[in-house]
A and B are shown apart, each in its own frame.
Chain A
Amino acid sequence: MHSMAGCAARIDPFHVMPEQVTNKSRRKFNFLDSIEKPTEWFIRLCGWSSIIGIAAIFLFIFKEAAPMLPRLDWLTFFTSPRWIPNPAPGNPASFGALALLAGTFTTTFIALIIAVPVGLGAAVYISEFAKGKVKETLKVVIELLAAIPSIVWGFIGLMVLGPLIKTVFTAAPGSWWGHVMVILHLASAETGAAQGTNLLTGGVILALMSVPVIVSLSEDALRAVPDSFREAALALGANPWETVRRVLFPAARNGLLAACMLGMGRAVGETMAVLLATGHNNRIPAALTDPVRTMTATIAAEMGETVFGDPHYRVLFILGIVLFVITCSINVASDLIIKGVKKANKA
């Protein structure tokens, strides 16, 4: 009757030896087990590292900027485009960052106008339409796009895109193209773009840099929409495009918004690419091909020339604080939006 009677059991399966296994004294020493407590404390400490890091960043930048905070003319800082940190002898320095703020925001704006539709479109194509090899290839390309360092993007802007844009936006004086450009604010002079590195070049480069962020995060958001939604929509006779527009976009709305915001965060904080590609000219742009200058590029270009501790040095740190606050708010806000989605999906 007993099923195991047949096998010649070398080991009696019911021979019990509880003491053998659980007896504490027989336990062999294991180094990796013995360091459990200290390891756990170390792990915990590392867990806090990001809090320590972010606090330290704020603290140290604040520390360098602090002596200047009460002395800075904040009104000028935010409303004047006069950025004259090293005036001719006898004249007062002027720290008006308006043009820098304008430079940062106009380039970011141009970048988003390009990157949001392209990024969302590419994400939808990759996640909903592309199959097999095409999908894999596109994903790899997006990843490579994200991997290209910002200095290389700057180089591309300076050497490849800039000359191209200069050629397109150049007109003979008095020609119709010159008129059109002035009327449409494509260029501020009738002769067209003064130089290849300008707002448009910087914007396009920044767009290419934020697209991978937007694509990969949007794709995550779309993938998070349960398949049952798609199936339900298709069962009701919607074609794939209607499914995307009427079902997926609403369902993934917050995730897509967060993706665009993070793309914007990347564009605002980008440094080396805009340093090389925007023309580095401190003025409020009046047309699309005017050279501009961003806050990040200003810090990168001028910090090396400052004297430690002088007002110019400290004002650059203040610019850093402004950037820090802007990008952190963008990131935290998008994080909250994404978390909100997760909670709603769970409920």
Chain B
Amino acid sequence: MIHGKPHIEFRDVCAFYGSKQVLRNVTFTVPRHSVIGVIGPANSGKTTMLKTINRTLDFIGGARFTGQVLIDGENVADFRDPNELRRRIGMVFPLPVGLPLTIYENVAYAPRRRGVTAKNELDEIVERCLRQSVLWDEVKDRLQMLGTRLSGGQQQRLTLARALSLSPEILCLDEFSIAIDPVTTMRIEDVLKELRKSMTIVLVTNLVQQARRLADNTLFLWRGEVIELSPTEIAFSDKPKDKRTYDYVNGIFG
């Protein structure tokens, strides 16, 4: 592994929906095997930022971005097959989506598309991912049930399990805990602390305390601009680089 290079690097990234600019010259780096917490008020472009990383912005009509997003020094725009890129990045969006397949097949979906067919290998992946997303104990006896029949929070963990099924090197979580109860959230946070040993995590969250608990660095995004990127202790201290960060974190924003 090349330790010197940042794992994710944004250089002057601007994103647009039609003529509306959503990201303005976003520039930052994320070291390998670290957790970056992304906080910011609604509509600040956090989700859009994640969509530039795995290029799912391509699927939205009229959306585009300029600048460079580098994964391991490789520009995502230069990937001839963006799906190759997407397989390296686990992505969890806020709304829980259980695919209309069995729970087992939900998790095995991506590996199967990669050509993994051996039963024992798939079993192993399914169990590992369900354990990692703290769902295994609840569903281990009914893996053949439809994934869409699970509760909202369970489906959200299923989504997480799916995202982990290809053992991605980067895991992007976009407000993953909104549908999940606090106790389970804490357990997942424990898992994330373990997972960071093997992957880089981008944690977008509305719960600033969650960022504080998990993130090594915290990025404050506001109206598409990076206001602050500093180690979490500094961002949450009394004296962050920017006054607005202090205000936002302490809820006196506006």
Contacts and interface: CB of A to CB of B under 8 A. Distances in A.
Whether A and B touch directly in their complex, counting CB atoms under 8 A apart, is answered as: yes
Interface of A: 2-4, 7, 9-18, 20-22, 26-30, 33
A14 B198 CA distance: 8
Given A9-B131, A13-B132, 15 more contacts: A3-B187, A3-B190, A7-B136, A10-B127, A11-B127, A13-B191, A14-B197, A16-B167, A17-B167, A18-B167, A18-B168, A20-B167, A21-B111, A22-B114, A26-B116
Contacts of B115: 26-30
A22 B89 CA distance: 11
Contacts of B169: 18
A3 B198 CA distance: 19
B190 A22 contact: no
A4 B184 CA distance: 12
B112 to A, nearest CB: 9
Contacts of A7: 136-137
A123 B213 CA distance: 58
Given A3-B190, A28-B115, A22 B88 contact: yes
A26 B166 CA distance: 14
Nearest to A2: B190
Contacts, number: 57
6 contacts: A12-B128, A14-B197, A18-B198, A27-B114, A27-B115, A28-B116
B131 A21 contact: no
A15 B128 contact: yes
A40 to B, nearest CB: 14
Nearest to B165: A21
Contacts of A16: 167, 198
B134 A3 contact: yes
B167 A11 contact: no
B87 to A, nearest CB: 6
A299 B206 CA distance: 70
A210 to B, nearest CB: 36
Interface in B198-241: 198
Contacts of B116: 21, 26, 28
Contacts of B197: 14
Given A3-B187, A22-B167, A11 B132 contact: no
Given A7-B137, A14-B195, A22-B87, A28 B131 contact: no
Contacts of A22: 87-88, 114, 166-167
Contacts of A15: 128
Nearest to B132: A13
Contacts of A3: 134, 187, 190
Contacts of B128: 11-13, 15
Interface in B133-191: 134, 136-137, 165-169, 187, 190-191
A170 B190 CA distance: 91
Given A7-B137, A11-B128, A22-B167, A28 B87 contact: no
Contacts of B117: 28
Contacts of A17: 167
Given A17-B167, A21-B114, A11 B198 contact: no
Nearest to A7: B137
B154 to A, nearest CB: 16
Question: Looking at A3, A21, A22, A30, which has the most chain B CB atoms within 10 Å of its CB?
Answer: A21
B125 interface: yes
B247 interface: no
Nearest to A19: B167
User: Lowest 3 A-B CB distances belong to which pairs?
Assistant: A28-B115, A13-B131, A27-B115
B74 interface: no
Contacts of B168: 18
A22 B90 CA distance: 13
A145 to B, nearest CB: 34
Nearest to B186: A3
